[in-house]
Amino acid sequence: MQIQETPSREGAAPAPLPSALGSGPSRGTQGGGGEFGNIFIGIAGMIGAGKSTLAAALGQHLGIDTYYEPVADNEYLADFYTDTARYSFAMQVYLLNRRFQQHQEIIWRGRSAVQDRTIYEDSIFAKMLASTGLMDERDYRTYQQLFRNMSNFMCKPSVIVFLDVSPAASAERIRARSRDVESQIKLDYLHALHAGYEEFAASISKVIPVIRIDYERFATAEEMAEVIKREYMDASFMRQATRFDPAR
């Protein structure tokens, strides 16, 4: 398990991602969350939206554990971007497994936490890969069945914060962080991904409270904490449902 210290806050431009992105949490207080009580915050959004930076800042500001997307030690990532059709299924199963491990660890620890990209978002990428012919239909059906079976053992996050950015803004932020493996991502791909996130936000909000944020400009952790508090503590914002089904 990798332990990652968190930076202080978002700046006016995307900050560098944490140097060691792993499956474990950063340092947090016992329980944490302050006036929220025990809270599990999921940060959702496009590639380059600013999820990791906001998750780190919120983790430090609220004094809670922070879980990062498995990037640095993802042994499929380079192969996936080089030959997407060949490695799409392996990549999605790898990510689903790692994020399920994270998700369950958050629940088992019983501490407040913020997670950089939720397990539910993987279904957006899998569906898009299947619809564009980059994942075999048989593999996609297997992925859906696996997700459904795993979802029977998952407790839902308290709230999902959806960072809404345009495909153009996503492309600019990807260029700014200069990851070699992401250099081949095309704008058309980001447009398709954005459409998938729109569908995701509408669907998941029937299951889990969603706070949608216009994230074309970066906000501070303090501002975001206030938004989350205002919306999350509003009882009328809560929705009742059983499970998010990625096949819908």
Angle (deg, nearest 10), helices 221-232 and 51-62: 80
Q: Which residues pair with 43 in a beta bridge?
A: 116, 161
Check residues 217 and 61 and name the one with the higher pLDDT: 61
CA-based nearest residue to 210, from 44, 80, 78: 44
What's the whole-number mean pLDDT along residues 120-141? 93
Cβ proximity of 109 and 117 under 8 Å? no
Task: Report the DSSP pairing between strands 65-67 and 113-116.
Answer: parallel
Sign of the torsion angle spanned by Cα atoms 231, 237, 241, 244? negative
Tell me the whole-structure pTM to 2 decimals: 0.77
Looking at 65, 79, 83, 116, which residue is catalytic?
116
Gap between the Cα atoms of 206 and 202, Å rounded: 7
pLDDT (mean) for 35-60: 86
Distance CA 245, CA 62 (A): 31
Local confidence band at 228 (pLDDT 50, 70, 90 cut-offs): confident
Q: Would you say residue 9 has pLDDT above 80?
A: no
What percent of the chain has a predicted confidence (pLDDT) above 90?
39
How sure is the predictor about 22, in pLDDT bands with cuts at 50, 70 and 90?
very low
Enter the DSSP assignment of 57.
H
Q: Which amino acid type is present at position 112?
A: S
Instruction: Reply yes or no on whether 116 is catalytic.
Output: yes
pLDDT recorded at residue 225: 78
φ, ψ of residue 195 to 5 degrees: the values are -65, -40
244 pLDDT higher than 90: no
243 pLDDT more than 70: no
Q: What is the rounded distance in angstroms from the CA atom of residue 177 to the CA atom of residue 48?
A: 8
Q: What is the pLDDT of residue 199?
A: 93
CA distance 143 to 43: 23
Kindly report the average pLDDT of the chain as a whole number.
78
193-228 exposure pattern, b = at least 16 Cβ within 10 A, e = fewer:
bbebbeebbebbbebbbbbebebeebbebeebbeeb
Domains and CATH numbers, the chain: 34-235 (3.40.50.300)
On the question of pLDDT at 175 being above 60, the answer is yes
pLDDT digits (tens, 9 = 90+) for 159-172: 999 998 899 988 88
pLDDT in tens, 52-96: 888 998 898 889 999 998 777 888 988 998 899 999 999 999 999
Question: So what's the pLDDT on residue 88?
Answer: 95
pLDDT at 222: 79
